[in-house]
Amino acid sequence: MPQEPSLQLPENLGARCSLLYVWDEEYTVRALEGYLQFMELKANFEDWDCEHLAPSVVIDLVWQQHLLYNKQYIRACDEYCGALIAYDPDLSLVADSSTQEQRIKTTKIALKALYGRKYDVDVWNFLEASGTNKKAGSGIPPRTTESNNQDSVATREDKKPAPRPSPPQGASNTNRSRFDAREDQEHPARARRNDNQAEIIRDGTLSDTDSSEFRVATSRPLRHHITPMAQNRIPQSSNVSTATSKQSSTKGTNASSNAESVTVKIKCFIDGKTQDTCIRVKRTTKMKKVEDCLAKLMNLESSENLRFLVDGEQVSPWETLETMKVVDPEQHWFTVMPKVSAFQ
């Protein structure tokens, strides 16, 4: 399967960031990877004018340096998504506004939906909760003193717990907080900008042979559980008949469990907005049928023009919930978005 094109970065962008922000090589690589993830989100959302998404502190610093290569930046954006991804320097002046908070919330939802857990929480730290490091150079790993370096090396070599020295008075708290994924899951439908557009909550049942119309969602069916066989002693004469009856009962329960329809909640990224739709499918239903229905919902010509991901991983159209070992769909992130095609 061909990979999606990625934004071309200048050869010396990493060295420039490392020199200017005093980053080591390992952290610079992580920052560049986070920046590429952010630009992919911008392209998928078609957020050309900073209306929906917001960069983290570190990613914003990388973005500023990339913009200095203005000719290369314009050419890279055109080859990547056919449009110029604009930068708004005034966003840093309204960091505490409700509009910026909404952008950050939308970015968190999109980030988790597209990449699952495959992102760097340090690079993607917005620092909007603690309000620390608001001065110039915020988000940059602080310079490590020589004494702290020696203590750190000694601790790693000895591997013995040692009391940590108390920080100097007045030192700022630089602990990075991980945002709670539950918050994103509890409010996934709020990350949209157009209040007049109603949320799409629909439901349909797809079987192995047909795909039905979307209809109003009904209550979630009860799941069947296979009861383990009791290990009681059985008379010798009835061993064969009892084992056969239990085996057939277990097969029947498995068959009913596979034929059971479950509700899958899918987050759709359409025209830079997030919309939720619920589809009822069987565990043996091919994802190709789901993709065909989603393509019609998103007004795409075919399912080949969209990306269907589960926990940030693109799945094959011939996969099923059973082959993907998805027991409870509510514990997984299902996402669909249009593909980003390269413009020559």
CATH number, domain at 285?
A: 3.10.20.90
Give residue 193's pLDDT. 35
Give residue 37's pLDDT. 92
Judge whether 281 lies within some domain. Answer: yes
Count the residues in the chain.
344
Say whether pLDDT at 218 is over 70: no
CA distance 303 to 324: 20
At CB < 8 A and 24+ separation, what contacts does 90-96 make? 91/50, 91/54, 92/60, 95/128, 95/134
Same domain, residue pair 137 and 215: no
**Token pair for 308:** 């269907």
Confidence band for 245, pLDDT divided at 50, 70 and 90: low
Same domain, residue pair 95 and 184: yes
CA distance 227 to 240: 20
pLDDT tens for 61-114 read 999 999 999 999 999 999 999 899 999 888 766 666 788 888 898 899 888 888
Same domain, residue pair 317 and 179: no
Contact (CB, 8 A) for 137 and 21: yes
Same domain, residue pair 279 and 135: no
Tell me the range of 69-73, 98-102, 158-162, 200-204 where mean pLDDT is highest: 69-73
Judge whether 1 lies within some domain. Answer: no
Same domain, residue pair 204 and 112: no
Sheet order of strands, 205-206 included = 205-206, 273-282, 261-270, 334-338, 306-310, 313-314
Average pLDDT of the residues of the chain: 68
Give residue 169's pLDDT. 52
**Which of 201, 338, 336, 333 is CA-nearest to residue 279?**
201
Say whether pLDDT at 132 is over 60: no
Judge whether 233 lies within some domain. Answer: no
Give residue 232's pLDDT. 39
Summarize the confidence of residues 278-292 as an average pLDDT.
Answer: 82
Confidence band for 14, pLDDT divided at 50, 70 and 90: very high
Host domain of residue 36: 13-141+174-189
Tell me the range of 157-166, 242-251, 286-295, 327-336 where mean pLDDT is highest: 286-295
Q: At what angle do helices 25-45 and 57-68 cross, to 10 degrees?
A: 90
H-state helical runs in 46-171: 57-68, 70-81, 98-115, 146-158
Same domain, residue pair 214 and 133: no
Summarize the confidence of residues 187-215 as an average pLDDT.
Answer: 39
**Token pair for 252:** 């029947």
CA distance 111 to 285: 27
Say whether pLDDT at 145 is over 50: no
Same domain, residue pair 205 and 125: no
Tell me the range of 3-12, 188-197, 206-215 where mean pLDDT is highest: 3-12
**Token pair for 331:** 């514990």
CA distance 271 to 306: 13
Judge whether 243 lies within some domain. Answer: no
Judge whether 8 lies within some domain. Answer: no
Q: Which of 38-47, 117-126, 171-180, 313-322 has the lowest mean pLDDT?
A: 171-180
pLDDT tens for 18-75 read 999 999 999 999 999 999 999 999 998 888 988 889 999 999 999 999 999 999 999 9
Summarize the confidence of residues 295-302 as an average pLDDT.
Answer: 75
- To the nearest 10°, report the CA torsion of 156, 158, 162, 164: -30
Judge whether 237 lies within some domain. Answer: no
Q: pTM surpassing 0.75?
A: no
Q: Which of 3-7, 77-81, 162-166, 265-269 has the lowest mean pLDDT?
A: 162-166
Same domain, residue pair 74 and 44: yes
Same domain, residue pair 178 and 310: no
Same domain, residue pair 272 and 136: no
Q: Indicate the number of domains in the chain.
A: 2
Residue with the larger pLDDT of the pair 153 and 125:
125
Same domain, residue pair 201 and 261: yes
Q: Which of 73-82, 186-195, 328-337 has the lowest mean pLDDT?
A: 186-195
**Which of 179, 6, 39 is CA-nearest to residue 109?**
179
Same domain, residue pair 198 and 335: yes
Residue with the larger pLDDT of the pair 47 and 118:
47
